[in-house]
């Protein structure tokens, strides 16, 4: 029995398939990767953070996108769907479909057991090559913990971490504050057994 070689999928073919697909998939190096659904806690956190940031970004030249705005990392070829994305100033898109953003200033990912290692490691390595990206935020869904990685003038990334519900994390890239009590409003943490 022979194994069929996997054929290379071009970025154009990926976008054509993805734009008519029922489910989202990421793309990298000629392959599509199906994305799994999100938990209740994950969804609540995304809604909570969206509400907080939307309110603070009103009447400012920044746009907030949630879940369905694809981001292309041009230098590495990754196409992905961050949980939340902010662009300030003129949004740049991959093409006339206006569904693949090229210049996010802030990316937020809500961590899960299945994505945490990737979000912290290889995905962050891709994101770091985005010249526009000034801040990358990781939010735990099983405990109060929010981490912000902010690009410094020397291109190093500075970590700021908040771990209690009374904390407020400053998002310097977009001049906003993120209160952990609001991030985790109505989120039930797993009980320690």
| pLDDT tens-digit series, residues 104-143 | 999 999 999 888 999 999 999 999 999 999 999 999 999 9
**Maximum alpha-carbon separation in the chain:** 63
CB 100 within 8 A of CB 93: yes
- pLDDT higher than 50, residue 1: no
- pLDDT higher than 70, residue 6: no
pLDDT band at 54 (very low <50, low <70, confident <90, very high): very high
Q: Is 76 left (phi over 0), alpha (psi -120 to 50) or beta?
A: alpha
Give the per-residue pLDDT at 5.
55
pTM for this model (two decimals): 0.92
Distance separating alpha carbons of residues 148 and 171, to the nearest angstrom = 8
* Average pLDDT in the chain: 93
Distance separating alpha carbons of residues 115 and 104, to the nearest angstrom = 21
Give the per-residue pLDDT at 192.
67
Summarize the confidence of residues 161-170 as an average pLDDT. Answer: 96
Q: Which domains does the chain have, with CATH numbers?
A: 38-183 (3.90.1570.10)
- pLDDT higher than 90, residue 7: no
Question: Among residues of the chain, what percentage have pLDDT more than 90?
Answer: 81
DSSP code for 152: -
Distance separating alpha carbons of residues 169 and 118, to the nearest angstrom = 23
Beta bridge partners of 3: none
Summarize the confidence of residues 64-82 as an average pLDDT. Answer: 95
């Amino acid at each position: 029995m022979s194994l069929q070689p996997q054929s290379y999928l071009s970025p154009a073919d990926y976008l054509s398939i993805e734009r008519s697909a029922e489910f989202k998939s990421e793309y990298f190096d000629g392959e599509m990767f199906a994305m799994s659904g999100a938990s209740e806690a994950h969804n609540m956190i995304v809604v909570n953070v969206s509400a907080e940031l939307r309110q603070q970004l009103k009447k400012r030249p920044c746009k907030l996108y949630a879940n369905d705005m694809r981001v292309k990392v041009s230098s590495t070829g990754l196409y992905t769907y961050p949980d939340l994305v902010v662009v300030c100033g003129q949004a740049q898109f991959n093409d006339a479909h206006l569904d693949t953003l090229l210049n996010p200033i802030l990316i937020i990912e809500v961590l899960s057991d299945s994505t945490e290692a990737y979000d912290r490691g290889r995905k962050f390595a891709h994101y770091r090559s985005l010249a526009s990206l000034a801040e990358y935020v990781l939010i735990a869904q099983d405990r109060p913990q929010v981490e912000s990685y902010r690009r410094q003038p020397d291109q190093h990334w500075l970590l700021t971490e908040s771990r209690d519900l009374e904390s407020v994390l400053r998002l310097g890239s977009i001049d906003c504050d993120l209160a952990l009590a609001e991030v985790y409003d109505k989120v039930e943490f797993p009980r320690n057994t």
